[in-house]
Amino acid sequence: MEIPKSIKLFLTQTGELAKFTGRFFSEAFHPHYEFREFIRQCYIIGYKSLPLLGITGFIMGLVLTMQLRPTLVDYGAESMLPSMISLSVVREIGPVITALIFAGKIGSSIGAELGSMRVTEQIDAMEVSGTNPYRYLVVTRVAATTVMLPLLIILSDAVGLYGGYLGVNIHAITSYKLYMTQAFNVLDFYDVLPAIIKTFFFGFAIGIIGCYKGYYSKKGTEGVGLSANSAVVISSLVIFILDLIAVQITGILGYN
């Protein structure tokens, strides 16, 4: 029986990706760490993304507040606005939106960077010179995205909550203290911790998919663009799939 080409391609890629991920774990936990490169990647991936994600988070909080407000006013529950904003930002919208923006910025840049290195045969040169390209290029980047994304999401949530505070104050006057009290009153560890834990997986997925797409980029300039593009598309999709899995796991554990 002939398997359709698209399914074949999908299964091949999934298998390759799984092997790639397995290689990451085997390489990452063996000595001779590329610590300096890891720090440099953290700086590029984490620190350099902060302005973009901060602005996104701020606008997210502000717009969410302004969109929620009319409905809550209809129900006479305007005072619940801070609670709703903090719950929705911390639990769902903050992690997912920030991860998507992060995937767009970092996933594509990793894919393009490694793709161009592959195309210009720098990776091959590294192998020849005795440096382990996987360890130097992939492990550092994936570790950096995994560690940096949660931090970025925490800061983005904070900025988003501040945006929500400003949004509340467009129509009504609420003190910062009251807003923060109300926002934190509804939050529990069960709200914050699963949301933060899942962002590690988001970061890991973005890093590993970007690296995989770049590492196995097709030859030619066309291949670089393709790997950058597919890195973003696939990691965005994977973020949603992981989110779905995360919400089900927290549901099963009774932390919803």
Q: How many residues bind other proteins (CB under 8 A)?
A: 22
| Interface pattern 31-70 for other proteins (x via CB under 8 A) | --------xx-xx--xx--x--------------------
> 135 near 247, Cβ under 8 Å?
no
Q: CB of residue 71 vs other proteins: minimum separation in angstroms?
A: 15
Is residue 256 within a helix (H) or strand (E), and if so which, with residue range? Answer: none
Of the ranges 4-12, 131-139, 163-171, 181-189, which one interacts with other proteins (CB under 8 A)?
Answer: 181-189
Is there binding between residue 255 and other proteins (CB under 8 A)? Answer: no
What separation, in Å, do the N-terminal and C-terminal C-alpha atoms of the chain show?
Answer: 45
Q: DSSP of 19-42, one letter per residue?
A: HHHHHHHHHHTSS---HHHHHHHH
Is there binding between residue 158 and other proteins (CB under 8 A)? Answer: yes
Taking CB under 8 A as the criterion, the residue among 97, 143, 154, 208 binding other proteins is 154
Is there binding between residue 247 and other proteins (CB under 8 A)? Answer: no
Q: What does the DSSP 8-state code read for residue 169?
A: H
- How far is it, in rounded angstroms, from Cα 46 to Cα 25? 22
- How far is it, in rounded angstroms, from Cα 234 to Cα 86? 29
Q: Which residues contact other proteins by CB under 8 A?
A: 39-40, 42-43, 46-47, 50, 150-152, 154-155, 157-158, 184-185, 187-189, 191-192, 196
